Amino acid sequence: MRVRWETSTRYYEVRLVRDLLQDWVLIVARGGKTNRLGALRTLFVSSEAEGMKIIETMEKVRIRRGYVRVPV
């Protein structure tokens, strides 16, 4: 699963995937659209359901901060 939120100058993207050992991993990327600033982090989750719950929480925060979900 891949979800992306944007403002006019920033983006925030999260992917829920399985790694080579079949563990669930959230890959979170954020940064500026007009500059080279940004960060990438990896969060290990115990299940797909936990990952989806974290994504739902992230979506609430992003929308509260003015981001809009965009299709990917």
- Domains along the chain? 2-67 (3.10.450)
- 3-45: pLDDT as tens digits: 999 999 999 999 999 999 999 999 999 999 999 999 999 999 9
Which SS3 state, helix, strand or coil, does residue 46 take? Answer: coil
- 45-61: pLDDT as tens digits: 999 999 999 999 999 99
Give, for 32, the enclosing helix (H) or strand (E). strand 24-32
pTM, 2 dp: 0.90
CB-side neighbour CA atoms (13 Å) of 7: 11
Strands in 24-32's sheet, in edge-to-edge order, are: 38-45, 24-32, 10-18, 2-6, 68-70
